[in-house]
Structure 1
């Protein structure tokens, strides 16, 4: 984004006497006096921004409210003259840009803008797809840049009332409770004003014929209000109302009452869990959403090119004396050397990687370290008997090839598939020598899976492996499936699959931290903590902690860190000399808390271990949900960057130690990079070494023979917190902590 030479923005405070609380009224009163203030102007409700400097530092004028005879005195006071790179200017640029988006035909839904005239109907799935763009203007390393990416808003064509009717028809007497559970937390769109709301409850005691108080104090029914305000007639006057709690920014504006919504006028956004697990839905959506770098760039350049083509938008930009370049910024990136995957005893076997950084076809030899499977249970129902035997034969064939020594399992065949039957037979046959419990389940049922995991992780600590019957019922794929399961079982018992060359001469521990909400307790989340225990970064120790909304995660993480350091010393004979912590699951709003509160607590944890213990340390915040996209130019064609591509200039922040890493390869669409922000560093690692270590760690996730988007300890921490948040709801037994039992 470019501003004209000598561009200067004047910032004014605006006071209304008597006070005007309504933001829309404040805007209207100010706009009515544009002959005094001049144009262009931008007003955020408190501050006014003008390119011109008013004649006097303080300007007063009076105006009359439209809805009364009250005389309002408006005082405009000069506060600052701001250059184009001022942080405050970034806010104004974004205000200007949002206005431009409206002028070229985009509508705001939530935080982003979409083109309603280009919507696509996917009728077979009752879905609408609105194309749009995610945008933000910020100061980057050298200049102010517009970050833009293609986005899509998924809307369902059926209303919430349609969904309630379907639930009532299928669930019978207890349908109201089911409806509350299904809709709680869902985001709905009110098409009459394109606003989104989170559903917190359903109030079955009120309907559209109930009244509420308008701003002027008069009462009106919901039905009459929507008829008067939007010309909408509500057909079902007996429907219950949805309840949405005001957002934090609304609460700051004084809105404390619940918001009531009419189901008939609301549509759900996004995909349901059933839709996400439906292959056909996801395939049909991907035609529009998974676009190649070439198509993505074409859409973005057309988008930016639409501004000068639109007369109103072009005039508005000229008034503000700003412009946008038609072509994206070019960056010099680096590609790190391809890693070699080390397998076999002490890493004697090397696997050279191709351009896709994936090695599934090369895992034909011994794994890095194997645990003998001598005492284990194989449990299945009578209907899965044939599949179970074919799986066992395949398992016994592939396991020795991987270096795993196996003995026959204790076989338990069940007459029925009741959850109680699985738990009973595990309890009856489990002994202190049991290394693994393998259950072949006839169908996917969360309650049964949760019960097995609770028993094996909480009551009787033993690694467990659940297999859905249909995954092993095809002869042509059973060997491949058995190989993957054998590797997973080896990990869960404490074995290691592979590693990469770790050149560090110092004894180092790498920690991954992530969090996941607890599905059983509202307002509570689970913090997963996973720490490496050896030089090869292939053995791990895990703990988890619980936190409630507003509570700092690190309160429990101090216990986790202390346990990990003591375990590390027990295994290695001494404490780590260097600790690298990768902190995932941190939103933008939580970053200050991590820096100001969590970081000092980590340092205190080191002191708790010993007054003279002060390891070299770095804390890196990992951010996956970003909108930055990068493309490589290959013989005039735009393609995805190669795995190992690092971007650490031009589009990084001037006041941060940050970088982007493309670590994985994708078969469809455009690859998403990961952002890394090093918020604390006395590790002694140069930036190149920090980036190299980060890339190496993306090779070490044992559930996938390829690189992943984040360092492996982060994904291990996510898997742990997901298992606890979804199934266990308690911390797993400490006896399992030195194994990857949660894979």
Structure 2
């Protein structure tokens, strides 16, 4: 393992015109395409490249990691894979989660001998694995479970058979209740599927990875998960969480953060390893159900609760009564309070007649006097036509129930704050950087500041105005401080400006109406169209005004804008705002010396376009919200600091970008890549890129092949469509942050130094991957980015690639720090997030769209609303900064 110490960097006042570099310059460019004819050819399926070598630059240091070596024994054994099908007694397939493990455990207890006494691992769904085969290739069993969901035997529930309720667990209905809730019969089919040699793991360690090796590792993971499940843990994908109060931390709103462990087996250069990491999930606050509801809604007493909200919050959660260990699933709430919710109760003496009784009286007669909950709705744990009512005060929420709804801003902040853990080590010093005026800039620990420094290419702000949506601040003082700080950074901000305050009569109107009314005021106040608007929001960017404002300015009017929520304003805050404004207006805040001196590895040798791709999905529970695909590309080669974005909607939860190449006719491509290629060509002295380096975010290892054979194909087709004789070379790199590998210094309590690169011991035995900690971890433990090089026609050496990736972590124009991932990926995420606000306040119907990209249809045939097209005046800008 080693630390990557990059070459020092400088800065200059401006970027001089680059000298001529080899490239094909067409004599004439037709609108919308390069010269040449279209003849799109298909390519054979690509496979992941192998590692060409290791990096050699930098000073080696000793590190620790959270991988534990595993020595497999008896590799000549086989895992046998069986498919499992579960059915109810009436042949309906079992679809509910959680039942499968109970059924299979009961099956093995009952039929242990018939199954040959073999041990097994079950994934909880469709797959069963055994060490050695079962006696037959096909088995069918009948399993009876006596404890799925049961009632209490001491009158703990009020039960009904219609909407008003009828009967009780006592007397004649008690047997029926037991049959329905205390036992169920299942039919289980087990069929042989495949034979998995454990030798496949050894082969994978030698670089000979196959489907069998992935399956063998999967079996090992399932064994660990099954063990955790039997210990009563909550399983969330590869993580497990134990019911231990010490693991809980309050996030507010009745939600707890629960700390657990992630575990996964991996084949690495050092052998078979078990990656163990701390993991966090959100759970519902266990205990009295009324406490959860009061906390969830932020009210003082149960009588202040909004019961429509309560019903949504409680749906499908599991509760138990104070007098029983049995748990039930909540299906709803009663229509009336306990003392007014009547049902028909059959008599114990066998009399056919029944009496009408309220739920509260039912419990009163059984010695359970209700206090506050008598006037509150009951919990319904039955079915619509057969309700079972439980008073609130005898119900407790079962522990370890996942909270899957979106967190509030406060809850997210609390989760981040309380999930931080100090590592054994922290940070160290990195390298040289510069900004304007030819002044040397020496970052410490991957950070720098602009105190008494000027920006590389400061812009001028004139014909501008301040728009105040009722923010409570001294606007004139804010503007004076902004002009002062701008002057210190080289940005000339005109003192000739307008302040437009929102009219009081519109402050409570719909956000779209507020924006429209504000622009009426702007038009009546300003002498002409503004070039820049500073928008003061009443709250932070969670303000409902943000989306309609951005849509109006960027799509309809083409005006650069910066939104701020001026609550605590100081010079550092204003400097951060100025960095964004300067980038949006076409300026440049800082640059690397190697960028100015044409010494960027790979990039400076030939016209090279850098792409960053990301897809943003809706929040949990928003299954119908379109996904947003964003691609950013570098422009003005040989710069690596300027980018343009192109954003489109696509089907919800679809990860592959489907609009990279979109052939409309024999001569028209309406895809993303065409737009970006033409922009690179016009902004780079009419040079076509000889090389295209793609950084892709947000995909898992199982999707690597799709990136190579679906997305890359689209990009290549877009290039051929512009010019069939033009064949740029491609390098495709995946950037992953969602992994669990961490690194620690052996001789320090600090995080690993910024610029640390790890490409041995814990990387893939064959594939070309490496970890990089490019940033300084100020709080908590640094999470490295895991880069996977899938494809490399450019043949970039390990040292050059690592230096390029590290350099791209320093050109993020919004920040005075090195960031944890390459800037193009961050920009793609910002662009997708910002433009998703455009449709946040729209009726999600395609006819409402003002986009000119044509119709988009989801995989299920449902139309997907499109994003409005960016105005020509801002489409090439870094509007997303």
Mark yes or no: TM-score above 0.5.
yes
1:258 equivalent in structure 2:
none
| Cα shift readout 1:658-704 (whole Å, capped 9, x = no counterpart) | 21111111222111111112222212311222221111111111111
1:567 equivalent in structure 2:
679
126-135 vs 498-507, which moves further: 126-135
Question: Is 1:740 matched up with 2:878?
Answer: yes
Structure 1 segment 539-688 matched on structure 2, within 5 A: 539-549=642-652, 553-558=656-661, 559-572=671-684, 573-587=686-700, 590-634=703-747, 637-688=748-799
1:88 equivalent in structure 2:
215
Instruction: Evaluate the alpha carbon distance shift between residue 83 and residue 563 of structure 1 in structure 2; reply closer, same or farther with a 3 A threshold.
Output: same
What's the C-alpha RMSD, in Å, of the aligned pairs?
Answer: 4.7
Q: Structure 2: how far apart are the matches of 1:633 and 1:464? A: 48
If the length of structure 2 is used for normalisation, what is the TM-score? 0.63
Structure 1 segment 170-185 matched on structure 2, within 5 A: none
Counterpart pick for 1:351 among 434, 437, 441: 441
2:160 equivalent in structure 1:
none
1:325 equivalent in structure 2:
none
Instruction: Evaluate the alpha carbon distance shift between residue 134 and residue 551 of structure 1 in structure 2; reply closer, same or farther with a 3 A threshold.
Output: closer
CA contact (8 A) 1:580 1:618 kept: yes
Question: Is 1:396 matched up with 2:486?
Answer: no
2:466 equivalent in structure 1:
378
| Cα shift readout 1:603-660 (whole Å, capped 9, x = no counterpart) | 11111221122112112122111111111212xx454211111112222223432211
The Cα of 1:29 is off from its aligned counterpart by 3.4
2:813 equivalent in structure 1:
702
1:269 equivalent in structure 2:
403
1:536 equivalent in structure 2:
639
Unaligned 5+ segments in structure 2 are 1-68, 95-99, 146-183, 202-212, 344-358, 364-369, 384-389, 508-513, 662-670, 841-866
The Cα of 1:436 is off from its aligned counterpart by 0.7
1:482 equivalent in structure 2:
574
2:615 equivalent in structure 1:
515
Instruction: Evaluate the alpha carbon distance shift between residue 402 and residue 654 of structure 1 in structure 2; reply closer, same or farther with a 3 A threshold.
Output: same
1:406 equivalent in structure 2:
493
Q: Structure 1: how far apart are the matches of 2:699 and 2:193? A: 39
Instruction: Evaluate the alpha carbon distance shift between residue 274 and residue 19 of structure 1 in structure 2; reply closer, same or farther with a 3 A threshold.
Output: closer
1:369 equivalent in structure 2:
457
Q: Structure 2: how far apart are the matches of 1:432 and 1:194? A: 71
Q: 1:555 is paired with a residue of what secondary structure?
A: coil
Q: Structure 2: how far apart are the matches of 1:16 and 1:480? A: 60
Q: Structure 2: how far apart are the matches of 1:174 and 1:112? A: 35
Q: Structure 2: how far apart are the matches of 1:344 and 1:74? A: 70
Q: Quick one: higher RCO (CA 8 Å, sep 6+), 1 or 2? A: 2
Q: Structure 2: how far apart are the matches of 1:46 and 1:376? A: 62
Instruction: Evaluate the alpha carbon distance shift between residue 376 and residue 338 of structure 1 in structure 2; reply closer, same or farther with a 3 A threshold.
Output: same
The Cα of 1:414 is off from its aligned counterpart by 2.1
| Cα shift readout 1:85-121 (whole Å, capped 9, x = no counterpart) | 1433212212322344356674535652122134356
Instruction: Evaluate the alpha carbon distance shift between residue 47 and residue 630 of structure 1 in structure 2; reply closer, same or farther with a 3 A threshold.
Output: same
Structure 1 segment 312-351 matched on structure 2, within 5 A: 338-344=430-436, 348-351=438-441
CA contact (8 A) 1:370 1:403 kept: yes
2:352 equivalent in structure 1:
none
Structure 1 segment 407-426 matched on structure 2, within 5 A: 407-414=494-501, 416=503, 418=507, 419-420=514-515, 421-426=517-522
Counterpart pick for 1:9 among 73, 77, 84: 77
Q: Structure 1: how far apart are the matches of 2:471 and 2:118? A: 77
Q: Structure 2: how far apart are the matches of 1:365 and 1:73? A: 73
1:37 equivalent in structure 2:
116
Structure 1 segment 462-473 matched on structure 2, within 5 A: 462-472=559-569
Q: 1:557 is paired with a residue of what secondary structure?
A: coil
Q: 1:667 is paired with a residue of what secondary structure?
A: coil
Instruction: Evaluate the alpha carbon distance shift between residue 384 and residue 124 of structure 1 in structure 2; reply closer, same or farther with a 3 A threshold.
Output: closer
Q: Structure 2: how far apart are the matches of 1:532 and 1:690? A: 17
CA contact (8 A) 2:614 2:696 kept: yes
Q: 1:545 is paired with a residue of what secondary structure?
A: strand
| Cα shift readout 1:473-512 (whole Å, capped 9, x = no counterpart) | xxxx2x3333222222111111110111242221221111
Instruction: Evaluate the alpha carbon distance shift between residue 115 and residue 613 of structure 1 in structure 2; reply closer, same or farther with a 3 A threshold.
Output: same
CA contact (8 A) 2:429 2:446 kept: no
Question: Is 1:494 matched up with 2:586?
Answer: yes
Unaligned 5+ segments in structure 1 are 212-222, 228-232, 244-260, 297-334
Q: Structure 2: how far apart are the matches of 1:643 and 1:630? A: 12
Q: Structure 2: how far apart are the matches of 1:550 and 1:589? A: 16
534-543 vs 31-40, which moves further: 31-40
68-77 vs 524-533, which moves further: 68-77
CA contact (8 A) 2:612 2:632 kept: yes
Q: Structure 2: how far apart are the matches of 1:369 and 1:699? A: 17
CA contact (8 A) 1:154 1:271 kept: no
1:114 equivalent in structure 2:
241
2:23 equivalent in structure 1:
none
* Higher share in helix: 1
CA contact (8 A) 2:704 2:790 kept: no
Instruction: Evaluate the alpha carbon distance shift between residue 676 and residue 428 of structure 1 in structure 2; reply closer, same or farther with a 3 A threshold.
Output: farther
CA contact (8 A) 2:333 2:378 kept: no
1:447 equivalent in structure 2:
544
Q: Structure 2: how far apart are the matches of 1:107 and 1:6? A: 31
Instruction: Evaluate the alpha carbon distance shift between residue 187 and residue 669 of structure 1 in structure 2; reply closer, same or farther with a 3 A threshold.
Output: farther
Counterpart pick for 1:436 among 528, 532, 555: 532
